[in-house]
């Protein structure tokens, strides 16, 4: 289990590093960096269900701010548009990517929440 947490911590650190060219880099560097930090702290023995639950709730609420873009994306009927180019020409593509990025963070924090100190 510790190896999985180390891999996830490194992966989220990598996610944070590659956000420099994002339209809102500091927000996503912080989101991915905090997620990596939670994994690193957990590897060192930290576990606090309340803090993790707060991050889960905040993550879900924040992801909802992108829901309009996701609905627009689904309505366009072009599923490949989300992966065609990293430069999002249309706002709904960037919002959809950020929505799913946030849900990757939520899933990772949920993993920590459920696994505890294991």
Q: What's the CA dihedral at 45, 1, 108, 81 to 10 degrees? A: 150
Confidence at 88, pLDDT banded by 50, 70, 90: low
Beta-strand ranges (E) seen in 6-118 are: none
3-state secondary structure 24-36: CHHHHHHHHHHHH
pLDDT number for residue 58: 98
Question: Are the C-beta atoms of 103 and 49 separated by less than 8 Å?
Answer: no
Helix/strand/coil percentages in the chain, nearest 5: 80, 0, 20
In this predicted structure, the answer to whether residue 80 has a pLDDT above a threshold of 70 is no
What pLDDT does 33 receive? 98
What does the pLDDT look like over 30-44, one tens digit per residue?
A: 999 999 999 999 999
What pTM, to 2 d.p., does this model score? 0.88
Angle at Cα 107 formed by Cα 103 and Cα 108, nearest 5°? 115
Question: How does residue 101 score in pLDDT terms, banded at 50, 70 and 90?
Answer: very high
Map tokens 């991915």 to a residue. 32
Give the residue from 115, 94, 118, 111 showing the smallest Cα distance to 35.
Answer: 111
Mean pLDDT of the region 81-107: 80
pLDDT given at position 5: 96
């Amino acid at each position: 289990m510790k190896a999985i947490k180390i891999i996830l911590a490194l992966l989220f650190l990598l996610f944070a590093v590659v956000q420099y060219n994002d339209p809102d880099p500091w927000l996503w560097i912080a989101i991915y960096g905090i997620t990596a930090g939670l994994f690193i702290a957990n590897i060192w023995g930290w576990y606090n269900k309340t803090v993790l639950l707060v991050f889960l709730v905040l993550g879900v609420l924040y992801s909802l701010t992108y829901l309009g873009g996701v609905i627009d994306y689904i309505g366009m009927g072009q599923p490949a548009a989300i992966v065609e180019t990293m430069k999002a020409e249309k706002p709904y593509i960037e919002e959809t990517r950020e929505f799913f990025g946030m849900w990757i963070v939520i899933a990772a924090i949920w993993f920590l929440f459920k696994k505890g100190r294991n």
